[in-house]
Amino acid sequence: MDARQEKGLQIAATTKLVGEDNMWLVPSQAGKGKYVVDAYAKQCTCPDFEARQATCKHIFAVEYTIRREYTDDGETQTVTQTVTVKKTYKQEWPAYNAAQVNEKDQFQKLLHDLCKGIGEPSQKMGRPRLPFDDIIFSACFKVYSTVSGRRFMSDLRDAKAKGHISQLPCYNSIFNYFEDEALTPYLQMLIEESSLPLTAIESDFAVDSSGFSTCRFVQWVQAKHHNPKLLEARDWVKVHLICGVKTNVVTAVEISDRFAGDSPFFKGLVDTTAQNFVMQEVSADKAYLSAANLQTVVDHKAMPYIPFKINSAAQYGQGKGKRQTEDKKGKWKRKSALWRQMYHYYEYNQSWFMQQYHKRSNVETTFHMIKSKFGDSLRSKTKTAQSKTKTAQINEALCKVLCHNICCLIQSMFELNIKPEFWATEVL
Ligand SMILES: [Zn+2]
């Protein structure tokens, strides 16, 4: 048994792992959030796997857990490993099981609580429709359920019986609601609102982007890095998000077309998050490196962890002449000083920098959670105009993010004893 196997066994013995089918969440041993392990593909989102492309301790931990669960009664169990783990650990499963068993009910309750706070936008003339909160509830619940028409309608009738919606929409009209651009800002607002119960938990954040396509067989990473033709050939929606590294909750999101650069979205995401959270760290990959982005994080009294490119030393200007021309712009002087400061700081504290920077992998975990649970493709079939199809795709992508956030809250209710309440200041 090698060191990774041994550590995997320790993790399996001491931690309750959350997972279903092939997707498992394994907490980082250094307390830096969670990694996603794909049990079938034997892949992990941790830096160790990324570097070696070989079985890491998290994959071993999942394998031990799966093996063990087949002989488990699902309630309480005792794991004794005399060879490597000399202690006997007693593990409590009820909390995790309760989260899974009750997820659908909890999901509807939380979604309803969120929707009832949004109010009614001014009705457009002529087109009678359902109350706005019913529309958003139905659209999100459809994305969450991932089941086909008839089964979803019985879920929706159930939701009406429980009082989560006031009227039952017909199945086809749910898809028409996705085409309504009025939905987009409300979905973004709900994503933000749904992150607020975790303000006391999250202080470190990570930023990244990923694409959702209309074709389920084309994957973003494949298209972006290996086959740019796929970017041209398919419809894509690019989701830019920032998430908390402990619970993977998304605190702000922006949508763009497929070719938009990542860096310009950084400031908006960080600023929105700073309105609700006390930020300590923000990490992002080198695509986000700019003096302005570093400054944005520092302005919020947080520490940026964005790696410098190999040629960064030259970029900040070694010749005095170059720096002086920048100084003429006034603002550049300050940015340039921060840039230099950061560059040297990272250079002299590299191993420490890497430790903190590894929290960034949690944003990849977040995308992985969203895509594996709610699908990485978007519906493309609509008989209407191109612009409406695009709106429908944007809204569907936002619904996936909102569904993810609600699931993060449910997990936090059971793991961290959080009691989510929304619209705190609005309700008297
Ligand atoms: Zn791993």
How far does residue 46's CA lie from ligand 1's centre (Å)? 4
pTM for this predicted structure: 0.77
How far does residue 349's CA lie from ligand 1's centre (Å)? 24
User: Per this entry, what is the length of the chain?
Assistant: 428
Alpha helical stretches, state H, 201-303 = 220-225, 228-233, 266-276, 291-299
How far does residue 13's CA lie from ligand 1's centre (Å)? 16
How far does residue 57's CA lie from ligand 1's centre (Å)? 6
Task: Give the contacts of 236 (CB within 8 A, at least 6 positions apart).
Answer: 211, 212, 213, 214, 220, 223, 257, 258
User: In the 8-state DSSP scheme, what is residue 217?
Assistant: T
Residue closest to 267 by CA, chosen among 257, 282, 278, 256: 282
How far does residue 8's CA lie from ligand 1's centre (Å)? 9
Residue closest to 214 by CA, chosen among 369, 386, 34: 386
How far does residue 28's CA lie from ligand 1's centre (Å)? 8
The pLDDT, as a whole number, for residue 32 is 73
How far does residue 50's CA lie from ligand 1's centre (Å)? 8
How far does residue 244's CA lie from ligand 1's centre (Å)? 19
Burial class (CB in 10 A: 0-12, 13-18, 19+), 68: middle
How far does residue 359's CA lie from ligand 1's centre (Å)? 13
How far does residue 163's CA lie from ligand 1's centre (Å)? 43
The label of the residue with tokens 């939701």 reads 159
How far does residue 75's CA lie from ligand 1's centre (Å)? 27
The more confidently predicted of residues 263 and 151 is 263
CA distances from 27 to 68, 229, 384, 388 (A): 18, 37, 45, 41
How far does residue 84's CA lie from ligand 1's centre (Å)? 20
Average pLDDT, the chain: 81
The more confidently predicted of residues 423 and 79 is 423
Q: Give the mean pLDDT of 362-389.
A: 83
How far does residue 53's CA lie from ligand 1's centre (Å)? 10
pLDDT level of residue 194 (50, 70, 90 thresholds) = very high
Report percent pLDDT > 70 for the chain.
79
pLDDT level of residue 331 (50, 70, 90 thresholds) = very low
pLDDT level of residue 387 (50, 70, 90 thresholds) = confident
How far does residue 201's CA lie from ligand 1's centre (Å)? 24
Residue closest to 395 by CA, chosen among 138, 140, 123: 140
How far does residue 288's CA lie from ligand 1's centre (Å)? 25
pLDDT level of residue 66 (50, 70, 90 thresholds) = confident
Burial class (CB in 10 A: 0-12, 13-18, 19+), 125: exposed
Lowest mean pLDDT among 29-33, 81-85, 169-173, 260-264: 81-85
The pLDDT, as a whole number, for residue 319 is 38
Does residue 418 contact residue 409 with C-beta atoms inside 8 Å? yes
pLDDT level of residue 84 (50, 70, 90 thresholds) = very low
